Structures are given as structure tokens and as C-alpha cells.
Amino acid sequence: MPGGYWWQCDKDAHHTASFHAATGSGIVAFLHRLAQSDWNGALLANPCRSCGGSMGFTYEFPQVASRTEVRVRRIVGIRTHLPGYLPMMWESMPAGGTEPWFDFKYVLAPGARGNSLGLKTPAVFSRSDLAELFATYRRIAGVSAFP
């Protein structure tokens, strides 16, 4: 399912599902639900209906030219700007990689015009927002030092 965001089985990469099929919603609504759950990582995995494996949130980066498939491991963001603006940091693992990548994205409120534009455009953070983002990452990831 290249060219967007999809769910892919960790046991068999041929087992894929669209975002809506896997979550019952579009990506923007899903990301807002993830934020409201306090970044519950369990939402980033769904059972594979074909083999019982785990379906993970997957996308290609960059979205043009030479692409690398990456699987989202963790998403954290800043909820203080809700409902209109949801800036996030996505921790992803590139296919065959040994070190995670960090991708900064945003979405607007569900239903807002251009609400998914920030999935292809980097988010901009103030210094205080970055401090809050990194503190949230440390709390959710259970690590004492980041970055």
C-alpha cells in the first residue's frame, strides 16, 4: 500500500490494511484519539485478521524520490493546542534499520480544511513546546534522558 499510511503485519508484510479498515477512522481522527488516550502505544498495534500477527502503523519516508518504509513505534505530541492544532513527534524504525528515526508532524482538527497537510509538512515548535514534547516522550517511553 505504498504512497500513504497503512497497517502492515509483522509476520507477513503482504498482510496489509487501510487506515480506515484497521482503526475504523481516518488518520486525523485516529491521531486525535491517540492524543486523547495520553499517547497510549497499544493503539499503534492491531491484530492481523489473516494470521494473528501484529499489524503496525507503517508509512514511507520521504513521500517522494527514494523511499524507505518505516514502522511507527511511538507517537507523542503536545495537547495544549487542541482541538485546532496537534503537533507531534513520531518515533519510527526504518526497514532493516538499527536506530530509530524521529519525524515531526502535525494535524489540524478533524473536519478542518487541510487537516492532514501537516503529515507532509514538518511541524514547527517553540522552545517551550519542544521541552514539553521531550518531557512527554521521556514519560511515555520510560526513559530518563532524551534527547
Average the pLDDT over 98-104 and give the result.
Answer: 95
Tell me whether residue 70 is in a domain. Answer: yes
**What is the domain extent for residue 69?**
5-141
pLDDT of residue 64: 61
End-to-end CA distance of the chain: 32
For residue 46, how many other CB atoms are within 10 A of its CB? 17
Tell me whether residue 146 is in a domain. Answer: no
pLDDT of residue 63: 57
pLDDT of residue 62: 74
CA atoms of 12 and 8, how far apart (whole Å): 8
Total domain count for the chain?
1
In tens, the pLDDT along 32-77 reads 999 999 999 999 999 999 999 999 999 988 756 678 899 999 999 9
| Backbone angles phi and psi of 46, in degrees to 5 | -130, 150
| Residue 66: half-sphere exposure toward Cβ, Cα within 13 Å | 0
Tell me whether residue 147 is in a domain. Answer: no
Tell me whether residue 10 is in a domain. Answer: yes
Tell me whether residue 56 is in a domain. Answer: yes
pLDDT band at 102 (very low <50, low <70, confident <90, very high): very high
In tens, the pLDDT along 76-92 reads 999 999 889 999 999 99
Q: Is this structure's pTM higher than 0.85?
A: yes
- Contacts of residue 63, Cβ cutoff 8 Å, sequence gap at least 6: 3, 120
For residues 133 and 110, the model is more confident at 133
Beta pairing class for 5-9 and 16-18: antiparallel
pLDDT of residue 4: 85
Tell me whether residue 115 is in a domain. Answer: yes
